Amino acid sequence: MAFEGLTERLQKAMRNLRGKGKVSESDLRKTMREIRLALLEADVNFSVVRKFVKTVQERAKGADVLEGLNPAQQIVKIVDEELTKTMGEEATPLNKSEKIPTVIMMAGLQGAGKTTTAGKLSLKLKNEKDARPLLIAADIYRPAAIDQLEQVGKEIDVPVFQKGTDVDPIEIVKQGMQVAKENHNDYVLIDTAGRLQIDEKLMDELKNIKELTHPDEILLVVDAMTGQNAVNTAEGFNDALDITGVVLTKLDGDTRGGAALSIREVTQKPIKFIGQGEKMDALDVFHPDRMASRILGMGDILSLIEKT
Classify burial at 160, counting beta carbons within 10 Å of its beta carbon; exposed 0-12, middle 13-18, buried 19 or more: buried
Q: Are residues 177 and 188 in contact, defined by beta-carbon separation less than 8 angstroms? A: yes
Q: Residue 292: which of 6, 2, 66, 32 has the closest Cα?
A: 6
Our measurement of the distance from residue 16's CA atom to the centroid of its chain's CA atoms, rounded to an integer in Å, reads: 37
The residue within the footprint of ligand GTP, chosen from 5, 71, 108, 288 (CB under 6 A), is: 108
First CA to last CA distance, the chain: 27
Q: Are residues 224 and 259 in contact, defined by beta-carbon separation less than 8 angstroms? A: yes
Q: In whole angstroms, how close is the CB of 229 to other proteins at the nearest point?
A: 4
Question: Taking CB under 6 A as the rule, does residue 229 contact ligand GTP?
Answer: no
Question: Taking CB under 6 A as the rule, does residue 114 contact ligand GTP?
Answer: yes
Question: Taking CB under 6 A as the rule, does residue 122 contact ligand GTP?
Answer: no
Q: Are residues 118 and 160 in contact, defined by beta-carbon separation less than 8 angstroms? A: no
144 binds, among Mg ion, ligand GTP, other proteins, none (CB under 5 to 8 A by kind): other proteins
Stretch 236-275: interaction string toward ligand GTP, x if CB under 6 A:
-------------xx-x----------------------x
- Asked, as a colleague might, if the bond just before 101 is cis with ω within 30 of 0, I would say yes
Which residues of this protein are in contact with other proteins, per CB under 8 A?
Answer: 2-3, 37, 40-43, 45-46, 109-113, 115, 119, 141-145, 147-152, 155, 196-198, 223, 225-230, 232-233, 250, 252-256, 258-259, 278
Which residues of this protein are in contact with Mg ion, per CB under 5 A?
Answer: 114-115
Which residues of this protein are in contact with ligand GTP, per CB under 6 A?
Answer: 108, 110-116, 139, 142, 145, 193-194, 196, 221, 249-250, 252, 275-278, 282
